[in-house]
């Protein structure tokens, strides 16, 4: 498994009228963590897109365990467990003081500039296979 963690501090704008983090923010944090994991691996989204590779979300899930509130310090843990064939599944944990606040996943397709399905780029697969073998990111 390849994983990476990023810190998040809940902003006032992230909360709803009840003072709890609004549900859609979790998906924004998932994206932030995923982008940083890809950057850490050496395959930033910007580079993939410049190469004509796009990775839209085709499935997303989040289960909310505990409320997060304004000014909470959270960690987003992002994990990839296997190399993609046609799709990439990325898993997430949102943690607060070691406790589980939320968990979920996203599934991504690989598309070309015209929006047609394509295989993941060879360099992407090579880098991810190596990282999975070393499990160090």
The sign one gets for the Cα dihedral 66, 70, 75, 77 is: positive
Retrieve residue 116's tokens: 């047609």
Measure Cα distances from 30 to 21, 94, 117, 128 in Å: 14, 9, 23, 19
8-state DSSP, 12: G
> Catalytic annotation on 16?
yes
Identified catalytic residue from 16, 71, 72, 97: 16
Give, for 61, the enclosing helix (H) or strand (E): strand 57-64
Compute φ and ψ for 72, nearest 5 degrees.
-65, 145
For residue 104, give both structure tokens. Answer: 């979920």
Q: Which tokens hold the place of 117?
A: 């399905």
Annotated active-site positions, please?
Answer: 16
């Amino acid at each position: 498994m390849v994983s990476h963690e990023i810190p998040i501090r809940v902003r006032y704008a992230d909360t709803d009228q009840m003072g709890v983090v609004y549900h859609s923010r979790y998906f924004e944090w998932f994206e932030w963590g995923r982008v940083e994991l890809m950057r850490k691996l050496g395959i930033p989204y910007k580079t993939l897109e410049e190469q004509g590779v796009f990775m839209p979300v085709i499935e997303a899930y989040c289960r909310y365990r505990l409320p997060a509130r304004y000014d909470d310090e959270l960690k987003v843990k992002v994990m990839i467990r296997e190399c993609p064939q046609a799709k990439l599944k990325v898993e997430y944990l949102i943690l607060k003081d070691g406790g589980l606040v939320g968990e979920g996943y996203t599934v991504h397709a690989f598309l070309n500039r015209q929006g047609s399905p394509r295989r993941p780029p060879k360099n992407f697969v090579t880098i991810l296979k190596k990282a999975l073998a070393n499990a160090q990111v």
